[in-house]
Structure 1
Amino acid sequence: MRSRFRPKHQRLILQCYPGGRAGEKHPNSSELSYLLFYVSSRRTKLLKVARYLNQKIRQDLWRGRAGNVQVSLDIATALIEKCPEDLNVFADHIVSIITAVLNSNDLALCHYTETIFDVFCMHHNGALFTDDSDFIQNFDNLIKLYMDIRSRGSERDDWTAVSLQAACCIASSGALYASSSQLRFQISTILPVILDQLKKYSEDRFIQLNNYLTSIERTQNTSESTRVNRASISSITQDNPHDENDILALRALKKLFDCSDTHVSQIRFTSRFVIKYVIDHPSDQNWVYSAVDLLAQWIPVHLRFVLLRSLYEFLMELPLSDTNSLLGVTQLMSSLLSSNVSLIGLSVLDVLHVLLSLITQLLRLNDVSPDPKREKLLNNLAHAIGDLATHLYYSDQIANMAEEILMRIRPLPFERRTVSSNGQPKGRSEPIALSLPTSTMGSTMASAINLEKFIDKGSLSFFSEKPAIVIGLQIIVQIIHGANSGTGGINRKIIPIQSWDQTEWALTSSDVQIRDAYVDALYAYFNMEISSLSESGTIESPDVLGSISTGIVFLNKLHSSIYDYALKNTNTSEDYMNINMILLSIVSRLGLIGIVHGLPMVLQLQDTVSRTQDKYSRNSLASLQAVILIYYSTVADKLGIPKLKKQVDERIKFVKAKKGGWDSNLTAPAKLRADRQLSKSTLSNGDARNEKQSVAVEDEDDEQEVDDEWKPLPSMGNIDRGLIIQYIKESNAKLSIDTVDTMTSVWSKESAVQNTEAAQHLSIMDDTSPLFTIPSTTKIRSKPLRVAW
């Protein structure tokens, strides 16, 4: 009788409940259909229906009628699906209903809320987040309740599943983007639950987990909503080592990264929170380092750069004293940069400037308080720059990156660079040109200003001190190695020789670390950036020497510096090996161009040593003689002059037969610095016979090593200039008269740079001859180019 006096909407709702005390109930289908028709045709009744359901579900919870609670949840779910456009009308009641069920502490009912919460998150557009403070508070409390529920009871995994399922729903909800504050709150609330579940995994198991997730997604009906089918998850996870919670956690994380173009801020906030989580949990970072490229793969291709941008923004915000955190973020950057993930849209120079600025600031701090961890961090930053070079995003990228370093090693225009007692130049660096990226992310003015300020912190006196110069040259090596080991479909331009102009001072620096670092950088450039000559080689790129005049000026300056370097009477055997390595690299990689600008210098070096031999020890003379003869032999071989080659090799054999007449460390091909270090290590371990390591070659007391009849005067090993000229003219008719004259002309330091204009008009043979071509390392195959010098 009481039901006859109830309002119609209440009667229709009550008719949906089946009778009996079954533990699991579902609405009567025909009655539910009529109720849905009733509210859809009378939208004003929606609020009344939702309010009554809210009241009834609380009564049933209090009376322990779990079956009726399930029916109420099903009715509420059906209402959302039937009237999604009017969800805002009764959204607060849905939130209240779910909250009441979660507070019941009934595990089965809490699991049962998954469907209604998923449907609610799917259809809620977030409009109420803009002006309804009560709803915002209630919804935020609901999210917190869902995430906190994992700590309930003894069945911890089952309760955690409720939290992770809710996290999946939130991660897929469009309401995330209603406001920036809601986005921050919801992401920061659900991510700890997600990451706590995943942090236990190693690299291999994390990849396996992703493969399982992919399998599950393929089995689900793609025509359905984004609802997670826990039944399908359970069926797949029964026979593998990953449980349902792991899959849910990974799926929720994936949803936060795999979003549309309009939700870029979601990627940024999620990335920053993941980074912070890693920093706050230093003992649980293994899974992140292995998974960072996987995270990037989930992001749409054209938005992946946002992940790296978040990393370097976070890096900028960390205090320099927090070395551990800086190490963690830097390792994440290297992990991403060294992966196969393409970061299209990345502002390469912004990343480079940030890393260089950080290096400079750390070097300054290291001067005050040296720290081994900081040394490791500096090394990691250098490697990160090398990793940045493994992916090509535009044709001039590698050349621009190298130029950004080399420009800081040059003496500054209009300003005298002073040299300190330990051999490094001082002076302020040129200002850094800031390149702000344009992207769909829409950088705010504040972030642009922060980026510029951070870069400016490291711009003053940038590479004015020895440690910065050394690490800068090491970075050049990293860039060249990265560029020539990476992948990419872009036809890049190689680093032109002109980029090295005004850096040649480092070759004659009094500081051995600067000299060695410069030699390593030059060797990497000649032997990796410029391809070796081949029988079928042609000039593939017009930018090998960049500006012709500037490129030739550098070659002349470089040979002038080699001349000064060779004549230093304090040289060690290591120094002569450096000279030998650079000279042979120039000949083997630049061919005739290198010989034209190098042979006159070496001829003059021979004459100078002959005149001033009293300044040098016997060992120094032996080393100089070896450098010169090896160079002649290599030039003869490169020019294809067998008679000259035979003459030089016989002289080398004669000199080697005399004790103390030859430096055995000097070979062709030259010994690399890495091989020399290995050789030293072997000797120091006693694995070789008692030989001397590379020491200063000025030992005048080592007379017992020299035959009495042998005086290692340069004239005994010299090859006459006239004889070389004669062999060149007679044996290689392909060379023009101007080329031969230039190649064998009298050389002086003063005239080397002044001859640039004349060199521009020097025609170097037919461009189809492989001897006079400079293949680049680019993949492009352009037409052969005739080069005039």
Structure 2
Amino acid sequence: MHIPFTPNHIQLISACYPPSAALLTSGPEYAPNSQELSRLTYYAANRPEKINKLGSELEKRVKADCRKAASGNTRARASLLITLAIFKALATECRRDMPLLSPSLLSSVNVALSSLSADLEIAARAATVFTTWTTYTDGLIIGVDLKVTDDYMSCLRHFARLGHIEHNDHETRNRTRLIGLAALVGAVNSEALYKPSAQFQPQVSIIMRALLIPLLQVDVLGEIKEQPNSPILDEFRSRPTLERRAASIHVHIDGDQGPTSGDVANTALRATSSLLGHTRGLQASLVLQAALDTLDERDGWSQIEHCRWLAEKAAEWTQYQYRYGIPTRLVECLAESQDAPQPTRRHSTLAAMITAVFTSPTPLVNLSTSDIIASLISVTLRRITVSPDDSLLPALVECISSLGTHVYYADQIQDLAEDLIRRLVIVEASGIPGAGKANREKARIQAVRCLLAGLLGLIHAADMHDAGKDADDEGKTVGTSPTLPTPAERMSHDGPGQGHIRPSRRTKVGPEIWQDTLSLLCDSEYAVRADYAMALVAYVENEIPKFADKVDADGVRRPRPLAEGPTQKSNTLNAMLYGDSTTRFLNALHACVYALSTSPKLGLRSSSSPPSPDRTSPAQGDDSSARAGDATSDSVTTERRSMTHPSRSRRTSLVLRMLRDAPARISVSSRVAADLSDFGNILAVLTTVHEQLPVRSLLTGIPMLVALNRAASVADSCDPLTAAAVRAIKELVARAWLVVAKVWDCPAVAEIAEKALSALPSSSSLPSLPDWQFGSLQPPQHPIPLPDGVQLDTPLPDIDADAILEALSSSQNVQEATGLGQHDLLRRLGTDWSPDSAYKDSIETKSRMDSLSGDGLSPLIKVAPALMHAENLSMQSLARSGRGVGVTDLREALEGRSSMSNPNLAGRVPSISTLDHTSSVYPGADQFAKLTPQRSRPQRAKPRPGEVREVLNKLGIGKQNGLGNVKSSFPALQKTQPRNPPTITPPYTT
């Protein structure tokens, strides 16, 4: 009934409702009168100043109807549904003026959900209104208007609760969840989530709780669709506001087949995909953090496969340039709980998620691999400090190894390997800081094994996808496979989960980097020696640069006239005489092999640390070694700090001390620390070296074999254990000669070795190297001791080394490969050899070729000790006097003062006026009027000590005469003078 003096906007609203008697019969649509609704929306759209009044009136009606409907009034319920439909129509037609309608709209939705959230029809109508608002809002009002922000966050919490509600009736539960998730899909694609940056994290925390729980409650592999993305959602935020269309949310019709858990999960998955696809930078990490918090609340860490799948999809759905935030945040979460006394499911699942992301085919550009590996190494060492037998260590090794799957620049694997090796050698010598005295040595052993396994797995992972690629594999779509491969399938060549199809064009890990680890071959613990022997074999087979030094498929080294001309032979000879990185590596390798075969004690022993307790085994009657157990402050520093030169010098001295303990001849009463398994490992290493690097191994390894054979020449009346070690050495040398004979096709050498091998007394043969599984931490290997029943009634047969050297030097293959004649070869192969001299050759950095042409030092090397406060004493020694010339001296010379404390700058610098200098700012300054040049002293042709010219000359900068051996490192200063030079020249030129 029309009431006089009723405001026009109230009359328009009231006309939209059917008569009171017809409210109950207006269902099931409960829609307002269409003609009157059109008048209302036309009025609001053309008079924006009335929108606030319209919204306030509708809000009053919603609050009144909710109060009555909660008491069971069915007419009020019908009126509430119609009012919500009016709100949707106004929001659609007044989208340009959405901020004016937002306060009353969000308040009405919040009131309806707070009062009648159990009514699915009202919840669906409220969700429709909310989705309409999220579609057309610009989001700027959130965070500015506190009342609107509170109502909006309350609405999100209501819909999130509906999205993961629990109910005994599965059909009702799924219907309710779909309504809540549909509203959250609108929020995920709304500007209200992304524009107010301060409100992003609170919103995401609410939304992810509702999106993640349905995913954890279904079989991910069976029910979730492979393609969750919707073209409409993908293009939603890119469309202009006026062209968007808001979705309508309806309750499932009774009688039809209800929605399944898979339908609910797919809706949640679609929202999660859209959320990650729209995030930028730090937002992706916040989304992942919200998901991890939900896993904490719901105890979802036990569902490892779901979590792995979720981590892979999170990286895949995030925008290309921001994907690095996913694994980075996972590693940070793992590092935050690294001090836990016992590993939990959270630790193991996080490690599995990290491995899943790194082994997935999704590219992760901008990933800071160096920071990632530093964090993983820190976590690994910390867990070992807590307990050397920590159950999380194998998973951490897999994480480190899987990082090699993503290679984005040529030197990446080499840089990561260098980081691992740096930590490896520090732990080897100094142990782990923080480990208790009882577990100090055990922690050191476990840390070395973990880092070594991670190093080898990292290198192997970089190449495991390069071999055996079919044409069908190249056509795979990245990131669409719904299967979750097992870790064994991911880290193998033939597993169905290999997936990673990017070729690797990386730089190989150089021998100068790997050389620092060779002392592990002589570690005091057999488990470390065995693991390193397997790693060394794998490195020489697959990683070390071989250049043209190769054998044929049958293991024979044959000459290649086209590829090996005089230039190649000359390069080979120069590499042998003056040394290259591979030759130096082999020198150090053979020195360590000799020490392992003959030394009575193994391991690096520091005089500053007390020896460890004696460890007696059947194969070793006396002390195994004295190990360095205490961690010193100058050896273990920050995560990214490189090993300083004093530490390297200390390490070199420790290695040389260990090598000097290796006897030139085994005495009758001496013991050998190596086990029978060690000799088998040595044979595997020597076999690989001679087969993979035949020329260099021939020139560096043959003198070692001769020296090792000489060391095993002992009398027949020796201790049984010594006799067993001597017999093992004899067999090792004979079998090594057989390998050399096969490689160089020398039947005479093979005949001599076979004769000596058959004359040895029968005993246990040398064991073979066990199998190695890349990318995983294997159980520690146990040694096979030397047999204790060996008795020498007669001296063991000696191998005729002179005859072997004669046969090798006369071999045509050897002469053609090395470019040396028989006499030169015989002299080279028969040279005196010792392990300490070989190791010194391996660390020699200055070749004799450089000494033939002056000091061979570049200007930058000369300047480096003065300009950088380096601790490299060897570099500082390159200065011509006790103190180098530095920046301070140059500054004082420019100011006209000489350094009285520097003998290099003794003398006084003449006082020179700068009035006659051309301006360095204005090239044409000589065209302007200037004062008459004045000098306090006549100019000297020859610079005196302390002048700028003299200082620059001492730094290697400036014009050099033609007789000097050093050229300036700044080419700009060596250009020829212009045709019209300035009248006055600077004082540092002649």
- TM class by smaller structure: 0.7 to 0.9
Separation in structure 2 between the aligned mates of residue 291 and residue 509 of structure 1, nearest angstrom: 43
Output the amino acid matched with 1:143. L
What is the 5 A alignment of 1:258-407? 258-260=277-279, 263-280=280-297, 281=299, 282-318=301-337, 320-321=339-340, 323-324=343-344, 325-366=346-387, 372=389, 375-407=390-422
Consecutive unaligned residues in structure 2, runs of 5 or more = 435-439, 466-499, 554-559, 565-570, 600-671, 774-778, 851-990
Give SS of 1:746's match.
coil
Q: 2:584 aligns with which of 553, 564, 569?
A: 553
What count of residue pairs does the alignment treat as equivalent? 677
Contact 1:81 1:119 in 2 (8 A): yes
CA 1:395 to 1:730, structure 2 compared with 1: closer, same or farther past 3 Å? Answer: closer
Whether 1:480 aligns to 2:456 is no
Shift of 1:634: 2.1
Consecutive unaligned residues in structure 1, runs of 5 or more = 412-416, 418-423, 430-454, 456-460, 676-680, 682-692, 763-789
Whether 1:566 aligns to 2:597 is yes
Contact 2:128 2:183 in 1 (8 A): no
Shift of 1:721: 4.2
Decide which structure has greater helix share.
1
CA 1:529 to 1:185, structure 2 compared with 1: closer, same or farther past 3 Å? Answer: same
Whether 1:90 aligns to 2:101 is yes
Root-mean-square deviation (Å) = 4.0
Give SS of 1:695's match.
coil
Give SS of 1:130's match.
coil
Indicate the residue corresponding to 1:606 in structure 2: 709
Whether 1:192 aligns to 2:293 is no
Output the amino acid matched with 1:630. R
Separation in structure 1 between the aligned mates of residue 192 and residue 89 of structure 2, nearest angstrom: 20
Indicate the residue corresponding to 1:111 in structure 2: 124
Separation in structure 2 between the aligned mates of residue 556 and residue 233 of structure 1, nearest angstrom: 79
CA 1:757 to 1:351, structure 2 compared with 1: closer, same or farther past 3 Å? Answer: closer
Q: 2:691 aligns with which of 585, 588, 591?
A: 588
Cα offsets for 1:557-598 (capped at 9, x unmatched)? 121111111224232220001111111122222232233222
CA 1:586 to 1:226, structure 2 compared with 1: closer, same or farther past 3 Å? Answer: farther
Stretch of structure 1 that moved more, 130-139 or 713-722: 713-722
Separation in structure 2 between the aligned mates of residue 383 and residue 305 of structure 1, nearest angstrom: 19
Contact 1:562 1:579 in 2 (8 A): yes
Contact 2:81 2:122 in 1 (8 A): yes
Indicate the residue corresponding to 1:253 in structure 2: 272
TM-score (norm 2): 0.62
Cα offsets for 1:619-668 (capped at 9, x unmatched)? 333322232222222223333xx3x2x234334544555573575335xx
Separation in structure 1 between the aligned mates of residue 420 and residue 303 of structure 2, nearest angstrom: 36
Separation in structure 2 between the aligned mates of residue 181 and residue 758 of structure 1, nearest angstrom: 60
Output the amino acid matched with 2:385. R
Q: 1:624 aligns with which of 721, 724, 729?
A: 729
Contact 1:600 1:744 in 2 (8 A): yes
Output the amino acid matched with 1:257. L
Separation in structure 2 between the aligned mates of residue 509 and residue 12 of structure 1, nearest angstrom: 92
Cα offsets for 1:213-246 (capped at 9, x unmatched)? 35897999998858567689999x9699654322
What is the 5 A alignment of 1:753-772? 753=839, 755=841
Give SS of 2:392's match.
helix
Separation in structure 2 between the aligned mates of residue 120 and residue 349 of structure 1, nearest angstrom: 45
Q: 1:137 aligns with which of 139, 143, 150?
A: 150
Contact 1:200 1:284 in 2 (8 A): no
Give SS of 2:365's match.
coil
Whether 1:696 aligns to 2:776 is no
What is the 5 A alignment of 1:228-247? 242-247=261-266
CA 1:22 to 1:228, structure 2 compared with 1: closer, same or farther past 3 Å? Answer: closer
Output the amino acid matched with 1:100. V
Give SS of 1:258's match.
helix
Whether 1:48 aligns to 2:27 is no
CA 1:702 to 1:239, structure 2 compared with 1: closer, same or farther past 3 Å? Answer: farther
Indicate the residue corresponding to 2:224 in structure 1: 209
Shift of 1:308: 0.8
Contact 2:714 2:795 in 1 (8 A): no
Contact 1:194 1:249 in 2 (8 A): yes
Separation in structure 1 between the aligned mates of residue 185 and residue 441 of structure 2, nearest angstrom: 48
Separation in structure 2 between the aligned mates of residue 47 and residue 754 of structure 1, nearest angstrom: 88
CA 1:491 to 1:220, structure 2 compared with 1: closer, same or farther past 3 Å? Answer: closer
Contact 1:484 1:528 in 2 (8 A): no
Give SS of 1:465's match.
helix
Indicate the residue corresponding to 1:637 in structure 2: 742
CA 1:90 to 1:613, structure 2 compared with 1: closer, same or farther past 3 Å? Answer: farther
Whether 1:146 aligns to 2:159 is yes
Q: 2:429 aligns with which of 425, 437, 445?
A: 425
Indicate the residue corresponding to 1:665 in structure 2: 766
Give SS of 1:491's match.
coil
Separation in structure 2 between the aligned mates of residue 467 and residue 132 of structure 1, nearest angstrom: 58
Indicate the residue corresponding to 1:450 in structure 2: none
Give SS of 1:599's match.
helix
Q: 2:31 aligns with which of 19, 26, 29?
A: 26
Separation in structure 2 between the aligned mates of residue 118 and residue 13 of structure 1, nearest angstrom: 22
Separation in structure 1 between the aligned mates of residue 728 and residue 441 of structure 2, nearest angstrom: 37
Shift of 1:305: 0.9
CA 1:219 to 1:297, structure 2 compared with 1: closer, same or farther past 3 Å? Answer: closer
Shift of 1:733: 3.1
Contact 1:477 1:521 in 2 (8 A): yes
Separation in structure 2 between the aligned mates of residue 114 and residue 190 of structure 1, nearest angstrom: 15
Contact 1:54 1:93 in 2 (8 A): yes
Separation in structure 2 between the aligned mates of residue 130 and residue 172 of structure 1, nearest angstrom: 18
Separation in structure 1 between the aligned mates of residue 207 and residue 9 of structure 2, nearest angstrom: 37
Indicate the residue corresponding to 1:776 in structure 2: none
Separation in structure 2 between the aligned mates of residue 734 and residue 758 of structure 1, nearest angstrom: 26
Shift of 1:726: 3.4
CA 1:621 to 1:31, structure 2 compared with 1: closer, same or farther past 3 Å? Answer: same
Separation in structure 2 between the aligned mates of residue 335 and residue 228 of structure 1, nearest angstrom: 36
Higher relative contact order structure (alpha carbons within 8 Å, sequence separation ≥ 6): 1
Contact 1:352 1:385 in 2 (8 A): yes
Separation in structure 2 between the aligned mates of residue 176 and residue 52 of structure 1, nearest angstrom: 28
Whether 1:517 aligns to 2:517 is no
CA 1:530 to 1:425, structure 2 compared with 1: closer, same or farther past 3 Å? Answer: closer
Output the amino acid matched with 2:785. A
CA 1:574 to 1:400, structure 2 compared with 1: closer, same or farther past 3 Å? Answer: same
Contact 1:626 1:663 in 2 (8 A): no
Contact 1:234 1:244 in 2 (8 A): no
Output the amino acid matched with 2:713. S
CA 1:428 to 1:187, structure 2 compared with 1: closer, same or farther past 3 Å? Answer: closer
Whether 1:746 aligns to 2:832 is yes
Contact 1:220 1:232 in 2 (8 A): no
* Larger Rg computed on CA atoms: 2
Indicate the residue corresponding to 2:612 in structure 1: none
TM-score (norm 1): 0.76
Give SS of 2:816's match.
coil
Separation in structure 1 between the aligned mates of residue 235 and residue 515 of structure 2, nearest angstrom: 62
Separation in structure 2 between the aligned mates of residue 133 and residue 597 of structure 1, nearest angstrom: 79
Contact 1:603 1:721 in 2 (8 A): no
Separation in structure 2 between the aligned mates of residue 617 and residue 29 of structure 1, nearest angstrom: 106
Indicate the residue corresponding to 1:5 in structure 2: 5
Contact 1:305 1:343 in 2 (8 A): yes
Contact 1:26 1:71 in 2 (8 A): yes
